[in-house]
Structure 1
Amino acid sequence: MKIRILYFAALRDAVGRASDTLELDGERTTLAAVREALVAQGDPWAGAFANLKRVRGAVNQTMADDDEPVADGDEVAFFPPVTGG
């Protein structure tokens, strides 16, 4: 299965790119498993996702929980915590 990954704000800076393509075994997975697969690649992903509880995710432009299904061809986006002032 092949999915497109988008990184925003500080995550984009930490991994050094705005997007990636990730290939995973199987036909379906979850948002949490995608995050874990990225971290398993080592740095810079491991460092960027060090505090997983603070990184939000979206599947196909809809904010999602960790158990959200992800399928072949989906777009997954990750967002760091946002502060305003």
Structure 2
Amino acid sequence: MQRELDKAGESFTSLLNEVRCELAMRYVGNPRYSLVEVSELLGYSSPSTFTRWFSAQFGIAPAVWRRARPATVNVGHPERSATGS
């Protein structure tokens, strides 16, 4: 697998981070998940580790990000409107 990733110019770490970013937006935007649950779903050993990672990726703590946006449930991309634009 590593050889295939190398051929594609990717690394496991970069792919993991990309997927975590997408899932983090989805899960943090969904009020049904507590931030502790989100950190567990994304594979972090503690909520504080998740918070540090999220803050580094998005420039804002997940709790602040959640409060600043309207709740989205079962939406793949909270930043987009229902029309897909």
TM-score (norm 1): 0.30
Q: Which has the higher contact order (CA 8 A, sep 6+)?
A: 1
More strand by share: 1
Q: Which has the larger radius of gyration?
A: 2
